[in-house]
Amino acid sequence: MEKHAVVVGALGVIGRYIAEHLAGQGDWRVTGLSRRGRTEGPRYRHVAVDLLDPADVRTKLAALDDVTHVFYAAFQSSAGAASGYAANIAPNRDMLANAVTAIDRASRRLRRVVLVTGTKYYGVHLGPLKTPMREDDPRHLPPNYYFDQIDWLAAYRQGKPWDRVELRPQTLCGFAPGTAMSILPAIAVYASIAKELGLPLRFPGRPRAWDSIYQVTDSAHFARAALWAATEPGCADQAFNITNGDYFRWRHLWPRIAAVFDMPVGEPQAISLTRHMAELAPLWQAMTVKYGLQRIPWPDLVAWPFADYVFGAEWDVMSDVTRSRLYGFHDVVDSEAMFARLLRRFREERIVP
């Protein structure tokens, strides 16, 4: 039987990849939701909707009467450092509640809601923490909008014919212009500008981050995990860490990144990318013309506060993915090879020179 998925947040670095992966399966139809519009395809339609407006959500989702699965990957950041995004509770809770409530009312075929959260659940944004992080670890002291989303969804699904699954990735690696949650465009643009200025590629993060253990999640890998989580019966009402399945230190990865851009590696130099790169927007505009790059608006290309957040983790960031493997998801990704492959693709597609 054909399945109908609603991907909430379908233009982001998570939702975009989930939507494309499902639409390519042959037995799924996909409806994407976001504030902005998007080009539709043979098995994909898009609904532009304001998820914070309950009336708009009810009106535009009322016709979705055959939805079987919801993948919730929408996110609203707040002003300031990315480490503070978890405290932006009200809009992130309300968007989830508005979307799921409307779809639940419209469709009697709904069977599972897949909620995307992340390792901020464990307090990875607050400082050093217990590693490896496991799904049954206790929560940190709130605020954290993940807690509010999880608790709302758990309470709302009581007595319903559908269940829920929660997925916790770490530092998604993909590309969706306008997203705040991908490190790849930040690395690519930072490296390209440094090269244009004749500089070596210096690690811009804090000193101890250079040597700390870190992890990431390939967006395409996460999309495969989301499909598994949506269709594996045993996943019902469980939470799963989803990462590439390996770990690295920036110290060892940095030369491989530099090699993609044919650059020498310099000594680490801690800077605020948020402040520095704001001054270099005119240079990037000139480079766009000089090298014939895709004309992506500077604010939509990179979220520099997120890059500062990632490069500022001066403690080990390690998730345990044993549970996902025990439940049947065995895919892994070589993170060092992934960075090289995706950054080369950025150059091939003329996103960067």
Please give the Cα distance from 33 to 230 (Å, whole number).
18
Q: Quick check: 321 pLDDT over 90?
A: yes
Mean pLDDT over 313-320 rounds to 98
Q: Are 162 and 235 in contact (CB under 8 A)?
A: no
Per-residue tokens: 198: 């004749």
Please report which confidence band the pLDDT of residue 237 belongs to, taking 50, 70 and 90 as the band edges. Answer: very high
Has residue 341 got a pLDDT over 90? yes
Q: pLDDT band at 242, cuts 50/70/90?
A: very high
Nearest to 165 by CA among 155, 150, 147, 152: 150
- Cα–Cα distance between 224 and 222 in angstroms, integer? 5
pLDDT tens-digit map of 198-230: 999 999 999 999 999 999 999 999 999 999 999
Question: Which pair of tokens denotes residue 299?
Answer: 């604010």
Distances (CA, A) of 21 to 14, 114, 227, 305, 341: 11, 15, 8, 29, 19
Whether 88 has a pLDDT exceeding 80, the answer reads yes
Q: What integer pLDDT is reported at residue 80 of this predicted model?
A: 74
Structure-model confidence comparison of residues 79 and 63, the more confident one: 63
Distance separating alpha carbons of residues 201 and 212, to the nearest angstrom = 19
Specify the DSSP class assigned to residue 12: S
Tell me which residue has tokens 């949650």: 181
Q: What is the mean pLDDT of residues 184-191?
A: 96
pLDDT in tens, 132-169: 999 999 999 999 999 999 999 999 999 999 999 999 99
CA distances from 328 to 112, 321, 325 (A): 18, 11, 5
Confidence of residue 180 (pLDDT cuts 50, 70, 90): low
Does position 245 have pLDDT exceeding 70, yes or no? yes
The model's confidence at residue 178, banded by pLDDT at 50, 70 and 90, is: low
Q: Is 305 exposed, middle or buried (0-12, 13-18, 19+ CB in 10 A)?
A: buried
Helices (H), the chain: 15-23, 54-61, 89-106, 145-156, 184-196, 219-231, 250-260, 273-278, 281-291, 298-301, 304-310, 322-326, 335-348
pLDDT band at residue 315 under the 50/70/90 scheme: very high
- Between the alpha carbon of residue 272 and those of residues 194, 246, 250, 308, 343, the distances in Å are 15, 28, 17, 6, 22
- pTM of the entire predicted model: 0.96
CB 206 within 8 A of CB 311: yes
Q: What percent of the chain has pLDDT over 70?
A: 99
Q: What is the pLDDT of residue 85?
A: 84
Average confidence score pLDDT of the chain: 95
Q: How far is CA 98 from the centre of its chain?
A: 21
Domains of the chain: 3-172+216-241 (3.40.50.720), 178-215+247-316+334-348 (no CATH)
> What whole-number percentage of the chain has pLDDT above 90?
90
Rounded CA separation 169/151 (Å): 19
**Taking each helix axis from N to C terminus, what angle separates 281-291 and 184-196, rounded to the nearest 10 degrees?**
80
* pLDDT one-digit tens code per residue, 33-69: 998 877 778 899 999 999 999 999 999 999 999 999 9
